Amino acid sequence: MCGIAGIFDLSSRSRINRDALARMNGAVFHRGPDGGGTHLEPGVGIAHRRLAIIDLATGDQPMFSGDGSVAIVFNGEIYNFRELSQELSNLGYVFRTHSDTETIIHAWQEWGVDCVKKLHGMFAFAIYDQKRQSLFLARDRFGKKPLYYSIINNRFCLFGSELKALLASGLIPKTIRPEAVDDYLSFGYIPDPSCIYQGTLKLPAAHYLLLTRGKAVGQPTPYWQLRFVETNISFKDAQEQLISRLSEAVRIRLVADVPLGAFLSGGVDSSAIIALMSRHLGSGVKSFSIGIGDSGDSELPFASAVAARYGAEQTAVHVNPDPIAEYRRLARIFDEPFADVSSVPTDQVSKLARTKVTVALSGDAGDEIFAGYRRYRWHSYAQGARHYLPTSLRVPIFGLLGRAYPKLDWAPRWMRAKYTLQEIALDEIGGYFRTVCKIHDDARYQLYTSEFRRKLNDYHPCQVIAQHMQESDTSNALARAQYTDIKTYLPGDILTKVDRTSMASSLEVRVPMLDHSFVEWSATVPSRFKLKNGVGKFLLKRALAPYVPAENLFRTKRGFAIKTDTAFRGSDSRKIRNLLNSEAMRDSGIFDIASINALLSEHEMGLRNNGQALWTLLMFEGFLNEVHFATDRMPEGIVSALE
C-alpha cells in the first residue's frame, strides 16, 4: 500500500519545482514509510511513498517502462498480475521485476485506457506517457483506494492519495463548498466526487481520467457498472457458490511477502474471513480484536470463540476510548469532515494489528452486498406500502400521522414510528434519504446562519440519492437501495474510514467481499435469499452455518462504534460546549451558535438524543482547526509559469 502525488502541466512543458513535489509526497509519508521517490521532467512531476508488500527488492516507484517513456506511481494491489504478466509476456513484453506495478505499465502500453478493465484488485494510480503527452488517472471499481485531483487555472492538474497532499502544494484555494457542508451534515461524510473545497474532486470509483497536453480537460469516464439481474439459482446452489467464490476471493488476497492477519470482531463477516483464511493457511492465523466500552457489552467473547475454533492466534485488548480526546487527531487523518464515530475503534484495531502484521483482511461490505442493514428491511416495507396505496391517499394520511406522532429519539429504531410514517408519506427517493440522513432538514437548516442558507440556493442532498437510484437500472426496491449504498455509503464512509485509519498506522487492509467478480455474482442472487422474513444477510448466514458458531451468526447486530446517545453529558457537555463555541466555528460563517447551544441543552437534559449531531458538529470543528484554518506555506516557484 502506498501514497501517490503529482503535478501535470496541461498546456506546456514548464519547470516543476522539486521542493514543492517533495512537500506533497511528504504529506502522505504515513502511507509508505518504507521508501519514496520522485520523478521530474519538463511539464510533470510524480511522487511515491512505499509500504512494501510484494517484490520487496525491485518494486520501488516511480517505475518506468524499458525505454523510459512511461512512468507510473501506484497505490494498491493487483491480484491477477501474474496471469496478466504471462499474457503480456506472450505478446512480447519483457519484465524486469516481479511486481504488479510493472504489469500495469505494460497493460497501458498494450490496451491504453482499457487496461483498467483487465485489473483485478484495489488501485489508484497515475501514468505519465511521454510519447502521448498524457496523464492517466484511474481508481478501482469500488473506490477502495482514494484519489483526489484539482485543475488549477485550467493549466495544472494536481493529484494525490489524500487531500493533505494537494493542500501541501499551497495552490489549493480553501474555499468551502456549501453543498459539501450540507452533504456532510446529512450523511456524515461527503459523497464522491465532491470534496469540501471548491475546485477539488475525488475521482469516482470505477472511473478514469485521461488528460492530454494541449487538449481541453474532459470529464472522468466510467469503465465498469454493477448490474442487479436476478437468476433462477436455487437456495442450495447459492449457498455452495457463495462459499466457493468467497473462499477464492480470500485465497488470492493472501499473497504477501510480509506478515499478514485479519480483523476479527466476532460478527458474521469477520468470522467468515477467519474461517476461510484458516481453510487456506491452517491454524495460527493472526487475528486482532477490540472490546469497546463496558465489558458486559463487549464483543470479545464472540471473537474469541471463532479464534479458538480455528486455532487462530488472537491479539485482543479492551479499550474505552474518549472520543473528545481523539477527535482532533481524527480530523487530521481524514482531512475532510468525517463523522462516522466507529472510526475511533477502527483506528485502535489498526494500531493493534500493525504491531504484528503489515497486511490485514477485513469483513467489510457484507452488509451492502447481502442486505445486512436494518434500513433495507424498513425500505422494503415502506416501498410495499407505496406500491399498494395511491399517492392521493398515502401522502396526506401518513404525512398527518407522522406529524402527530410523538418523536421518540431515545427509542430503538423500530419504535420510532414517527420516522416510518413520514418516510411512507414521501416517494422512494425522499424516503430512503430520510432513512440514511443523520441530521434531518428542519434541524439542519436551523444550525445554519441565514447567509449560509442563501448560499445553498436550491441544493438538497437528496439529489445524491436520486442520481444513484435512477441509474441503478433495476425494478427491485432492495437492489436499488443496495446499489445506492455501494455508490455512496461504501466508498464515502466505510472504505474511507478503513483506508485512512489503517494507513495512519501504515497498515494495508484488503477486503475479500469486494472482489468485483464476487460482487457481480452476488448481484445475480435473488433478493428474497438476502432479506428473508425480515432477516438480513439470510443467505450468507445459512451458507456460513457449518463454519461459524450459531451465536455469532444470529445474535443482534451491535456495530463497531462508540455510543453517542449517552455521550456528551455531565462533564463532557461542558467540554463540547466550549469546543462548539470556538472561534473557528464562529469565524466559519456557517453555523448559528445559538442553535448549536440549544441542540446541546436538549441533549444534556435528556429531552432528545442529539449525540450523533453533536459528534458531527465536533468533527467539523476539528476540520476547521486542523485543516481549514491551518497555515499552508506556499512553496516557492512550484512552476515557473504561475505568475
Cα 603 to Cα 509: distance, rounded to the nearest angstrom: 37
Amino acid at 109: Q
- The grid coordinates of residue 348 equal 485502535
Task: Copy the grid coordinates of residue 69.
Answer: 517513456
C-alpha cell at 634: 506556499
The answer for residues whose C-beta is within 8 angstroms of residue 15's C-beta and 6 or more apart is 42, 639, 640
* Catalytic residue chosen out of the listed positions 2, 115, 157, 462: 2
Contact by Cβ (8 Å): 150, 217: no
Name the residue with cell 433478493.
527
Dihedral over alpha carbons 265, 271, 277, 278 (to 10 degrees): 110
Measuring CA to CA, which residue among 39, 41, 37 is closest to residue 59?
37
Can 2 be counted among the known catalytic residues? yes
Peptide bond into 62 cis (omega under 30): yes
Residue 635 DSSP label: P
Say if CB 32 and CB 21 are below 8 A apart.
Answer: no
Task: Compute the distance between CA of residue 579 and CA of residue 444 in angstroms, rounded to an integer.
Answer: 19
Q: Which whole-number Å values give the CA distances from 550 to 289, 302, 313, in the listed order? A: 19, 10, 21
Q: What share of the chain is helix, strand, coil (3-state, %, to 5)?
A: 45, 15, 35
* C-alpha 595 chain-centroid distance: 31
Angle, vertex CA 289, rays to CA 284 and CA 290, nearest 5: 160
Contact at 8 Å (CB) between 137 and 203? yes
Count of beta carbons in the 10 Å neighbourhood of residue 345:
21
Say how far residue 396 (Cα) sits from the centre of its chain: 38
Residue-wise DSSP of 167-220: HTTT-S---B-HHHHHHHHHHSS--TT--SBTTEEEPPTTEEEEEETTS-----
Residue environment code for 216-237, b if the CB has 16+ CB neighbours within 10 A, otherwise e: eeeebeebeebebeeeebebee
Residues serving a catalytic function are: 2
